Amino acid sequence: MRKITIKDVARNAGVSIAAVSYVLNGKESKVSQDTIARIHESIKELNYIPSITARGLVKNTSELIGVIIPQTEDHKQLVFENPFYSEMISAIEAVVREDGYHIILAGVDKGKTYLDISTSRNLDGAIIMGIYSEQLYEECKQANIPIVLIDSYVNDSDFTNVGIDDELGGYMATKHLIDNGHRNIGLVTGMIRKDGVVEKRFLGYKRALQEAGLFYNPDYVFENSVSYTHGRSSGTLIAEKYPEITGVFATADMVAFGLIRGIKEAGKEVPEHISVVGFDDISMAHMFLPPLTTVRQQIFLKGETAAKLLIDQIRKKRGAKAHGKKRTNIPLEIADRETVRKLH
């Protein structure tokens, strides 16, 4: 079936191609109300779908926003397996769609460049999640488009940054276990990299132990990937080899789900034998059995905030960076459910 073009719309409506172009590109003041009505009727009759690329050439905009997720671990599929990212992306997409933008989602392998994505797609702006400083500066600045970072500890006024206080979150999770009488507390976590989200949560864990006068035991730290699989293997190991551990902080809910499964497979129960606190409060957390106690970080609000800040930058000045903008932190709280047992 032949694709309907702007010429077909113009011919069917009995108007010029220029008139149709004016209507499609928001310049309706240049044509009469009768012409506008005929063009819209023609579009409806022919089921014409405007080309985003063609409109972009007219407006000098692609109407595309990149959502870029660096693959910071060797397990390349982990990012897209984690519901945390789907919830975040859903929030971003809902905001940008209201302003007439579309998103391009891209996972970037370790060592690959972000610049290629922004230039090849002619992006109007980009949201980058979880980036580290060594990967960032020159290539993102060369892109010369508005950029908002999510969950990054890059301290550079060229970029707007939206996140949470991850150190505080790790502290809150560990303190919740301490406040419930636990003294030997494990940590199941992804790779601890300098100035990354996981490192901040690890430091919060250590601070809570220190504040309570508890000994930090590096043997209680199980570090690998942010995955269900790592949580599961760690849960089995803890239940079988570390009988003194009564509470565990998992630095992501997906890790916590695997952790609980592994504990049960080793013949123990949560929270009767081992208490578990997660991090994120993804939508599955309250559906899980038992419902997961976790650090709630308001994922939707984080994505929504980042998207609104990016749209604001694009509107103010195309291609400008957000000089002098401060980090926006989303508040945290404990979602207290059924995976933590109070010890007497």
The verdict on 311 and 275 lying in the same domain is no
Q: Is residue 339 part of a domain?
A: no
pLDDT at res. 172: 98
Q: Is residue 342 part of a domain?
A: no
Q: Is residue 344 part of a domain?
A: no
Residue 192 exposed, middle or buried by CB count within 10 Å (0-12, 13-18, 19+): middle
**Distance set, CA 46 to CA 7, 8, 68, 207, 265 (Å):** 11, 8, 36, 65, 60
- The DSSP bridge pattern shows strands 293-296 and 333-335 to be antiparallel
pLDDT at res. 57: 45
The verdict on 108 and 139 lying in the same domain is yes
Neighbours of 211 (CB within 10 A): 12
The verdict on 259 and 199 lying in the same domain is yes
Q: How many domains does the chain have?
A: 3
The verdict on 179 and 253 lying in the same domain is yes
Distance separating alpha carbons of residues 246 and 192, to the nearest angstrom: 23
The verdict on 89 and 46 lying in the same domain is no
The verdict on 159 and 225 lying in the same domain is no
pLDDT at res. 74: 55
Domain CATH number, residue 213: 3.40.50.2300
The verdict on 175 and 275 lying in the same domain is yes
Q: Is residue 334 part of a domain?
A: no
Q: Is residue 317 part of a domain?
A: yes
Residues of the domain holding 13: 6-59
Residue 342 exposed, middle or buried by CB count within 10 Å (0-12, 13-18, 19+): exposed
Distance separating alpha carbons of residues 35 and 43, to the nearest angstrom: 12
Q: Any idea what DSSP says for residue 152?
A: -
Q: Is residue 264 part of a domain?
A: yes
Do residues 158 and 141 make contact, with C-beta atoms less than 8 angstroms apart?
A: yes
pLDDT at res. 136: 56
Do residues 331 and 268 make contact, with C-beta atoms less than 8 angstroms apart?
A: no
Distance separating alpha carbons of residues 192 and 224, to the nearest angstrom: 8
The verdict on 266 and 305 lying in the same domain is no
The verdict on 109 and 174 lying in the same domain is no
Neighbours of 32 (CB within 10 A): 11
End-to-end CA distance of the chain: 74
Q: Is residue 1 part of a domain?
A: no
The verdict on 285 and 138 lying in the same domain is no
Q: Where does a domain end: 256, 278, 297?
A: 297
Q: Is residue 18 part of a domain?
A: yes
Q: Any idea what DSSP says for residue 14?
A: T
The verdict on 212 and 274 lying in the same domain is yes
Domain CATH number, residue 54: 1.10.260.40
Order of strands, sheet of 275-280, starting from the edge strand that comes earlier in the sequence? 221-224, 185-190, 247-250, 275-280, 293-296, 333-335
The verdict on 153 and 50 lying in the same domain is no
Q: What is the pLDDT along the chain (344 residues), one digit of tens a residue?
A: 577 888 899 999 999 988 888 887 767 788 899 998 998 899 888 888 765 555 554 555 678 898 888 765 555 555 567 789 889 999 999 999 998 898 988 776 655 555 555 554 578 888 988 876 655 555 666 667 888 999 988 777 778 899 999 999 999 999 999 999 999 999 999 999 888 899 999 999 999 999 999 999 999 999 998 999 999 999 999 999 999 999 999 999 999 999 999 999 999 999 999 999 999 999 999 999 999 999 999 999 999 999 999 999 888 865 445 444 578 999 999 999 999 999 97
